[in-house]
Amino acid sequence: MEALVEAPVKKENKINERIPETGMPRIVIIGGGFAGIELVRKLSKENVQIVMIDRRNHHTFIPLLYQVATAGLSPGDISSPLREFLQDSKHFHFRMARVKQIHADKKSVETSLGFLKYDTLVIASGATTNFFGNKEIEKKAMKLRVMSDAIELRTRLIENFEEALQLYEDEQDELEKHMNVVIVGAGPTGVELAGAIGELRSHVLPKDYPELDFSQMHIHLIEGLDRVLPPMSKKAGKKAASYLKHFGVNVELGKLVERYEDGVAYLSDGSTIKTRCLIWAAGVKGNVIDGLREGAVDKGRILVDEYNRVKNHEYVYAIGDVCLQTDKKYPKGLPQLAPVAMQQAQNLGDNIIRLHNNKDFKPFKYVDKGTMATVGRNRAVVDAPGITFGGFLGWFVWMFVHLFSIIGIRRKVLVFSNWMWNYITYNRGNRLIINKDLDDM
């Protein structure tokens, strides 16, 4: 009888009970992205217990996700199991779970495995695609934020051509829907995707599908503002626009995609584009977790001060894409970029160590080392402090920086060898359709 009464209580707190209480302060980190893993690295030699919770068991190098979506790299080239590279960290525990709610008054988080207590909570849950409330587009559009999105997008891109082969000449509408690609948003993600799909169209698809006429495949990049790459300099945007032209991408500025129904995208200027592949790359919002006190969230991000402390909370911090931190140069908030997330994690790690040594916190200061975007083979744009450049040099710098940033030597070698192979052969070896529905065909 007693066991029956106790069972549900135990289950509710299973995650807490299975992680030993060590007497050391427990730091719970939500998210194993750029910010989360950088913080673990920083604290790995300290006398603190770290519990990382992520709903996935791996870290993804998101900046190269578009290359998985366009068959240039495979998922394992840019993903690392979180347990693998955190093995050397002292007093580290990982749990694959979703954090559902924060109970700041009880200093605990509610996860899909039960409740877990914390002494310090760090929210590093990143961002997700923002459809700005358009549920219809959200249901039907493709997106690119996590690995499963990239695999789904690659599948849709290639499946469309497999299906196009079965269409008759009088099914012109359907043919257009299968051949055309529409990308919404000409920020770095949209631009990089458009360039890579342009390359596929020039070098790979005509060889795979000689029965199809690829002059009928149109790639549209739609942007609401009046230029491409709005977060970068005007010069970089101009260069990127000329590179996109080189790859035959139709850049349409000052237009919004307002509706997407039955394979037709409806634009704000009244025009329409037929496509079965509409990719939404037009915005992100923070992965905000429920339960934070009033006033802590604004514009879909968690408000933090210069120490990354969450507004109206004690012992709760937020770092990376999920937080909104302002400074003089960025009054609307720091950009949602990997270097910002990593630098915030380093500073917070330093501050946690300082706290244990009874020293004062240091405010965060973002050091901007530049931004870049690649537009297909041999072309990229780079905004470095004081200088903007592009072309082959930009592309070379882009490759070097990304290769350097990928975690682990094995993955660096895999990515580099794939890039070299693709460069020499003009091929994309990962043109795999992975769709479990096909198993029942």
* Contact set with ligand FAD (CB under 6 A): 30-36, 53-56, 62-63, 65-66, 98-99, 124-126, 144-145, 188-189, 287, 289, 320-322, 336-339, 341
State the minimum distance, in angstroms, from the CB of residue 419 to ligand FAD.
15
Between 145 and 309, CB nearer to ligand FAD? 145
CA gap 235, 228 in Å, rounded: 10
State the minimum distance, in angstroms, from the CB of residue 31 to ligand FAD.
3
CA gap 21, 91 in Å, rounded: 11
309 beta partners: 317
Q: Could you say which DSSP state residue 203 is in?
A: I
Between 273 and 288, CB nearer to ligand FAD? 288
E-strand stretches of 248-397: 249-253, 257-261, 264-267, 272-274, 278-280, 284-286, 297-298, 301-303, 316-318, 323-324, 371-374, 380-384, 387-389
State the minimum distance, in angstroms, from the CB of residue 46 to ligand FAD.
20
Tell which residue, 184, 183, 180, has the closest CA to residue 172: 180
Neighbours of 224 (CB within 10 A): 16
State the minimum distance, in angstroms, from the CB of residue 153 to ligand FAD.
10
Residue 200 and residue 428 in contact, taking contact as beta carbons nearer than 8 Å: yes
State the minimum distance, in angstroms, from the CB of residue 391 to ligand FAD.
18
Between 126 and 263, CB nearer to ligand FAD? 126
Residue entry with tokens 């789904």: 152
Between 26 and 178, CB nearer to ligand FAD? 26
CA gap 164, 398 in Å, rounded: 35
Backbone angles phi, psi at 323, to 5 degrees: -100, 155
State the minimum distance, in angstroms, from the CB of residue 311 to ligand FAD.
18
Per DSSP bridges, beta strands 297-298 and 301-303 are antiparallel
Residue 25 and residue 119 in contact, taking contact as beta carbons nearer than 8 Å: yes
Q: Which residue is nearest to ligand FAD (CB)?
A: 33
Between 178 and 428, CB nearer to ligand FAD? 428
Neighbours of 338 (CB within 10 A): 17
Between 341 and 406, CB nearer to ligand FAD? 341
Tell which residue, 222, 284, 230, 229, has the closest CA to residue 257: 222
Between 63 and 114, CB nearer to ligand FAD? 63
State the minimum distance, in angstroms, from the CB of residue 133 to ligand FAD.
20
State the minimum distance, in angstroms, from the CB of residue 26 to ligand FAD.
17
Between 83 and 98, CB nearer to ligand FAD? 98
